């Protein structure tokens, strides 16, 4: 399992928390930043991270900004990316099981570091169920191929 991690200035603290979690879990990861003092534009971090997941360099990506919304919107513009905005453990598990999400986004102004850790753990430990979901996810992929 290889994970890519990225945030804008609004998500630095949770990104660092998740980097520590991945170290504790012995999961290989790359941290794309931002390593910034001032404010940056979230697409400059979420799109490169999403592209590297789409290319297969990483299995999953974790994105953090103030709300998680901008990061998830931008990541979902990349073909092959299914990025879920999640702020609870149930959704983190469900999006892996049902949507085969390959990225999640969270908002540092929405949740705290403890919940963010639980969300990431749940997301990484779950598996895609396939079956009835295959047809549904396949329809998203088919639309992208048009
Ligand atoms: C930055 O102020 C903020 O807009 C950004 O982190 C994010 O919440 C956007 O969706």
Residue nearest to atom 10 of ligand 1 (CA): 70
Please state, in angstroms and rounded to a whole number, the distance separating the CA atoms of residues 15 and 31.
8
| Distance separating alpha carbons of residues 103 and 140, to the nearest angstrom | 15
The Cα 97–Cα 140 span in angstroms is 16
Is residue 9's pLDDT more than 90?
Answer: yes
Residue written as tokens 């790359």?
Answer: 30
Q: Any alpha helices (H) in 25-131, and if so which ranges?
A: 43-54, 69-75, 89-97, 113-125
Residues in the chain: 146
Please give the share of the chain, as a percent, with pLDDT higher than 90: 99
- Domains of the chain and CATH, by start: 2-144 (3.40.1400.10)
User: Whose C-alpha lies nearest to ligand 1, atom 5?
Assistant: 66
State mean pLDDT over 42-55.
98
Residues identified as active-site: 65, 98
Q: Which residues contact 40 (CB under 8 A, 6 or more apart)?
A: 8, 9, 34
Is residue 43 within 6 Å of ligand 1 at its C-beta?
Answer: no
Condensed to tens digits (0 to 9), the pLDDT of residues 56-100 reads 999 999 999 999 999 999 999 999 999 999 999 999 999 999 999
Report which protein residue has its CA nearest ligand 1's atom 4: 66
The sign one gets for the Cα dihedral 137, 108, 113, 9 is: positive
Q: Which residues contact 23 (CB under 8 A, 6 or more apart)?
A: none
Asked whether 76 and 63 are in contact (CB, 8 A), the reply is no
Distance 9 CA to ligand 1 centre (A): 8
């Amino acid at each position: 399992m290889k994970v890519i991690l990225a945030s804008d200035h609004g998500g630095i603290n949770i990104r660092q928390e998740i980097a520590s979690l991945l170290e504790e879990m012995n999961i290989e990861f790359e941290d794309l930043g931002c390593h910034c003092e001032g404010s940056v534009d979230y697409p400059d971090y979420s799109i490169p991270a999403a592209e590297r997941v789409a290319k297969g360099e990483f299995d999953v990506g974790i994105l953090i900004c103030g709300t998680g919304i901008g990061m998830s919107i931008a990541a979902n513009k990349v073909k092959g990316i299914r990025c879920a905005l999640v702020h609870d453990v149930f959704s983190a598990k469900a999006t892996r099981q049902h949507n085969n999400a390959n990225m999640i986004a969270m908002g540092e102004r929405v949740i705290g570091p403890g919940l963010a850790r639980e969300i990431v753990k749940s997301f990484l430990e779950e598996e895609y169920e396939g079956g009835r979901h295959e047809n549904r996810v396949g329809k998203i992929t088919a639309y992208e191929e048009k």
